Amino acid sequence: MAERIAFELNGETRTVEVAPDTPLLYVLRNELGLSNPHFGCGLAQCGACTVHVDGAPTRSCSLPVSQAAGTKVMTLAGLGTPEHPHRLQAAFIAEQVPQCGYCLNGWIMTAAALLRDTPHPSEQQIRDGLSGLKCRCGTHMAILRAVRRAAQAA
């Protein structure tokens, strides 16, 4: 049975009427029309679906939308704009990270939380903070360079 669920999305209050156990990812994409985050594995293992919920990187494919009620949800679209990209978005472009780009949502959203909490991380802190994310194109080294570049830009 559908319920009305409200949360803040990228700074704007949104209300949806869906079954409370619907994954937040499905609500973001299917009900609210966002093109990111992406569906990757559906098991919270790859990271393509990562969003921030009250500032914490969260795998939206496994979070029931009812648990997002009353929270602040931020997606990649809320992190920066083409005119004013977040320093990570700018660093990913400068380092020419994207290949297929499918996984980048997860890497950038996870790294943004890492850099917020640890502005100047060590190499090991970056690797630990990004562990568990998957990139099938193998751009891991470019991703690490981009995160280091963004950290230096702070």
Q: pLDDT tens across 92-138, in order? A: 999 999 888 899 999 999 999 999 999 999 999 999 999 999 999 88
Q: pLDDT tens across 77-89, in order? A: 999 999 999 999 9
**Look-up of token digits 């998957």:** 134
Q: Are residues 48 and 115 in the same domain?
A: no
Q: Are residues 94 and 60 in the same domain?
A: no
- CATH classification at residue 148: 1.10.150.120
Split into its structural domains, the chain has a count of: 2
Q: Are residues 39 and 90 in the same domain?
A: no
Domain of residue 53: give its range. 3-78
Predicted pLDDT of residue 154? 81
Over residues 23-36, mean pLDDT = 97
Q: pLDDT tens across 32-72, in order? A: 999 999 999 999 999 999 999 999 999 999 999 999 999 99
Contact 54, 72 (CB under 8 A): yes
- CATH classification at residue 68: 3.10.20.30
Contact 36, 60 (CB under 8 A): no
State how far the Cα of 97 lies from the Cα of 95, in Å rounded to an integer. 5
Q: Which tokens sit at 147?
A: 């995160």
